[in-house]
Amino acid sequence: MSIYYQDESVTLYHGDCREITAWLEADVLVTDPPYGRAWKQGDTGTARGWASDKHGGIANDETTEARDAALADWGSRPAVVFGDLLVTPPSGTRHVLIYDKGNDAGFTGAVGGYRRHVEAVYLLGNHGGGLGGRSAVPRPSVSAGGNLSRPTGHPHTTPVGIMENLIYFAPPGAIADPFAGSGSTLVAAKQLGRKAIGVELEERYCEVIAKRLAQGVLDFGEPA
């Protein structure tokens, strides 16, 4: 077990979440795991006058095995899990939200003239019930205003604002993210005053996360 970064709010481990178990001590799972669609990206950047954004793919993204193994370990506790609408939802999904990336999606592909700029957000476990409620299309508390993959280097960077929104309305307690990626979940949890435990397989992204967490906390107020 290797702690890569730690402060008063967040502990980040470098390694495989199927081997590191510390994240299972948290109370609420909020994660953007490999979707299981073997995503890769060709070089679209140089054709548009930018630096190359070619990417060979996300680790363990060939199937949903990594996602499903982590959720099996997590059990029936509350979970907020991102996913691709073309891939089978996790077992036990109770509700599906839609994350509309809007301008934060940057340059995206299209099919039939329609942009691919929405993702699923699955709610699992006990999140409460009732009538009415908030929109099932959550919005960032503060817009990131552009393609987020460029400053972080991670192709699937999610705005801290959208993670703040989801965490703010999640059940109380410490946040777990076993697929930390560029660290948006951990940064959002810290900004909201929540404890968080993250795990990231690739060391280059651990470095990105550590730098983001070390930048400090900005108070943007209550999410919309």
pLDDT 10s digits, 93-146: 999 999 998 766 555 678 898 888 899 999 999 998 888 888 999 876 555 444
The set of residues, in sequence order, having a beta carbon less than 8 Å from that of 38 and lying 6+ positions away, is 57, 61, 62
List the domains of the chain with CATH numbers. Answer: 3-214 (3.40.50.150)
pLDDT 10s digits, 25-57: 999 999 999 988 766 555 444 544 544 445 556
The vertex-158 CA angle with 21 and 50, nearest 5°, equals: 125
Q: Whole-prediction pTM value?
A: 0.85
Residues 176, 155: Cα–Cα separation, whole Å: 21
- Which three-class secondary structure state does DSSP give residue 130? coil
Judge contact between 40 and 55, C-beta under 8 A.
yes
Residue 9 has pLDDT above 60, yes or no: yes
Report the length, in residues, of the chain: 224
- Which three-class secondary structure state does DSSP give residue 204? helix
Confidence band for 157, pLDDT divided at 50, 70 and 90: confident
Residue 220 has pLDDT above 70, yes or no: no
Residue 211 has pLDDT above 90, yes or no: yes
